Structure 1
Amino acid sequence: MKKVVFILLLFCASINVQAQLKIGDQLPEVILNTQDNDAFMLTSFKGKYVLIDFWAAWCGPCRVANKKLVKLYTATPRDQFEIIGLSLDVKPELWKKAIVKDQINYTQVIDAKGFDAPTAIQFGVEQLPSSFLFNPEGTLIAIDPTEDQIKKILKN
């Protein structure tokens, strides 16, 4: 009996590990809705560096990070770099208010199921904010990069 339980636990753990993105993985082809309720594919910006930023309106550190990301986005050429804010809010109306209040000027999408959202599980998001930087080929090159790390990568 103990052997069966151990095998089941090992199997479940291996499924969980495979679900999380790792450096070198490709950006998943996920379609989510924008704040205007338009369908948006995460791979739409392939050919540029893309930062996927997981956040939520209720997350204080996320709101502080939004201000920094807005400045970074504004200072970076659009032909080189894009940010996709991916909200895990369960109340879309609070998410939309936060976008306006934080003056977010980059693409916003929502997967409104909190940490149980399929994208949160697929990316392996366990805390907010969490971010994933993909190169122009769509390959994950950094997890939770700092602003300085992003600037350095974009200059190379």
Structure 2
Amino acid sequence: MLWFVAAGGLVSTAFIGGTSSAQEAKAQLDPGAQQELQAGQEALVARHYEGAEKAFRKANKIQHESCLACYLGLAQALASLGQKKDALGAADKAMKLATNDVERAQVHSLRGFTLASAGSDAKTLKEEESEYRQALQLDSRVTEYHLRLGMTLMKESQDGEGAKEISQYLQLDPQGRYTEYARKLMDNPRRAREDYAPEFSVRTLQGETVSLSGLTGKFIVLDFWATWCPPCRASVGELKELTRKYPRDRVVLISVSADKEEDKWRDFVAKKEMDWHQYRDPEGSIQRTFGIHAFPTYIVIDPEGIVRQTIVGENPQQSIVARLKSVLATLTAEKGKA
């Protein structure tokens, strides 16, 4: 499920593709607003949600709070930041500006996306399903609404009904941008319910290309850190111990650094003899893919590619690495029994 959202957010296609609403086409957006709107759309694609929020707010202010595309973009940025209430508020304002069924369908789809980002309890899933059904009823030409509805139905364990919607998407748009993922859902509906890790591929300091798909069958620990982070530096010894405890053909540790200065990062890694996979992410692309906002953060991915644990921050009673060891001990024991 995470991969699908992280791939760019289906809702973004409602306006990022350059389609302007009829209302805004008549009003002719102020050049300054157009510039900010474009910046916001680009930030969304790059998963730079804070920047997107700021740009959409600026564009909307220039347009005197009457910009439909600005509210659509703002709602998606806020939803991606986990701000459900504010995102739904922005969507409500977008709905008031919508002048036709196509625009209203976009807003319903956006509300569905916001609800999907907020949780998966039964009540929320029903609301999410309702939003996507309304979007389809208003504009059946958007094939991706079928895919969104199908995912929601699968999350509700209605795999048969979900498969019908996804099959409809594949039939109507066999070369669509989400075709590959749709086929994966058809093969394994659990992808809609489980927190599957987003695909990633990095070239490490050691010159190796490491990817999620290439590590299938192994436990993966992603260590998001930086040399300027005291608890990150303090955990190096325990991380070394972790690599000794578990063979590398079973548990793979990948440290992803947020350092901007390459020389400082390289020197630290060499000095501390951090001989496992090392990758520097100065632009934050991998961090944004996994929604990292604090350091250190550890993400444990099981052999099937499902995120099983995310550990953030410090615990005065127990180090993060100690907590990580406990999680791995439990998961590897479960794997051994399987």
Query: What letter is aligned with 1:130?
Result: T
- Equivalent position SS for 2:235: helix
Distance 2:213 2:238 in 1: 23
1:4-153 mapped onto 2 (5 Å cutoff): 9-17=74-82, 24-113=194-283, 117-144=284-311, 146=323, 147-153=325-331
* Structure 1, 23-32 or 4-13: larger mean CA deviation: 4-13
Q: Would the aligned equivalents of 1:30 and 1:42 in 2 still touch at CA under 8 Å?
A: yes
For 1:110 and 1:99, the matched residues in 2 are separated by 11
Higher relative contact order structure (alpha carbons within 8 Å, sequence separation ≥ 6): 1
**Residue identity matched to 1:80:** R
How far is 1:38 from its partner?
4.4
- Tell me which protein shows more strand as a share of its residues: 1
Sort the Cα spacing of 1:8 and 1:39 in 2 relative to 1 into closer, same or farther, 3 A: closer
Give the letter for the 2:197 counterpart: L
* Alignment check: 8 A CA contact 1:33 1:110 kept: no
Distance 1:98 1:10, change over 3 A: same
Query: What amino acid maps onto 2:308 in structure 1?
Result: I
Gaps of 5+ in 2: 1-64, 83-112, 120-192, 312-319
Check whether the contact 1:40–1:109 (CA below 8 A) recurs between aligned residues. Answer: no
Q: Distance in 2 between matches of 1:137 and 1:71?
A: 25
Say which SS state the counterpart of residue 217 (structure 2) adopts: coil
Q: CA RMSD in A?
A: 2.7
**Unpaired segments ≥5 residues, structure 1:** none
Q: Which amino acid aligns with 1:153?
A: L
Is 1:155 paired with 2:325? Answer: no
Structure whose CA Rg is larger: 2
In 2, distance between residues paired with 1:44 and 1:63?
29
Instruction: Quickly say closer, same or farther: Cα 1:49–1:38, change in 2 above 3 A.
Output: closer
Deviations 1:84-103 (A, max 9, x none): 11111111211111212222
Q: Distance in 2 between matches of 1:81 and 1:38?
A: 17
Does the residue aligned with 1:54 lie in a helix, a strand or coil?
A: strand
Once residues 148 and 136 of structure 1 are traced to their aligned partners in structure 2, the CA distance between those partners, rounded to angstroms, is 17
Structure-2 separation of matches of 1:29 and 1:11: 22
Structure 1's consecutive aligned runs of 4 or more residues displaced over 4 angstroms after TM superposition are 2-8
Q: Tell me, in whole angstroms, the C-alpha distance in 1 between the residues paired with 2:74 and 2:201.
A: 32
TM-score, normalised with respect to structure 2:
0.40
Residue identity opposite 2:333 in structure 1: K
Hey, what's the Cα distance between the residues in 2 that align with 1:58 and 1:43? Answer: 31
Percent identity (aligned): 23
Number of aligned residue pairs: give it.
151
**Which deviates more, 118-127 or 26-35?**
26-35
Q: Which residue identity lines up with residue 95 of structure 1 in the other structure?
A: W
- Which amino acid in 2 is paired with 1:82? V
Which has more helix, going by share of residues? 2
Deviation track 1:49-80 (CA, whole Å, cap 9, x = no partner) reads 10011111121111112211110111112232
Task: Tell me the SS of whatever aligns to 1:77.
Answer: coil
Residue 44 of structure 1 and its aligned partner are, at CA, apart by 2.7
CA contact (8 A) 1:48 1:80 kept: yes
